[in-house]
Amino acid sequence: PCPAVAKKLDQKRATLDWGVPLEQLPVIHWDDFIADSKNGKALVAIAGVIHNVTDFIKDHPGSKALISSAIGKDATAVEDGGVYNHSNAAHNLLSTMRVGILRGGCEVEIWKRARFENEDVSYMNNSAGQHLVRAGA
């Protein structure tokens, strides 16, 4: 666009709520995310970012039941794939609900499956004190 239009667009963008910048969000352990989700907070993890959707549940166009089923889970596949491929506007709205970064990025399915199947799962911390999970022998 011409410089005058670009300037107006920049001014408008500056007034929009883009959510808390990722680098300012606290890092949250998966187990804390789960615990908070069970204690009244409607938290959903998407692409390694934790979102508080409590105030949005009743307004979700895909139904209250659909978004409620994602609470306390990694809903990346639901948000970004298949028949539920959300628009840029939906992603922008979701960014205003960010409350944390999931330590490690996202839940790793093999670890969840190993816990469910009572396989050998050990927990330890690395040299920086970060929680690590070792699945299998």
pLDDT beyond 90 at 72: yes
For residues 35 and 23, state if they share a domain. yes
Cβ–Cβ < 8 Å for 46, 73: no
Task: Return the pLDDT at 134.
Answer: 47
For residues 48 and 101, state if they share a domain. yes
Mean pLDDT (whole number) for 21-49: 90
Task: Return the pLDDT at 125.
Answer: 58
List of E strands, the chain:
27-28, 43-46, 49-52, 98-102, 121-125, 131-135
Mean pLDDT (whole number) for 8-22: 74
The whole-angstrom separation of Cα 94 and Cα 31 is 22
For residues 41 and 78, state if they share a domain. yes
Full residue range of the structural domain in which residue 25 is found: 18-106
For residues 67 and 112, state if they share a domain. no
- Indicate the number of domains in the chain: 2
Residue 79's alpha-carbon distances to 73, 76, 94, 134, in angstroms, are: 12, 5, 10, 28
pLDDT beyond 70 at 83: no
Output the average pLDDT for the chain: 74
For residues 63 and 124, state if they share a domain. no
In a domain, 99, yes or no: yes
CATH number of the domain to which 72 belongs: 3.10.120.10
For residues 71 and 111, state if they share a domain. no
Q: Predicted confidence band at 95 (pLDDT cuts at 50, 70, 90)? A: confident
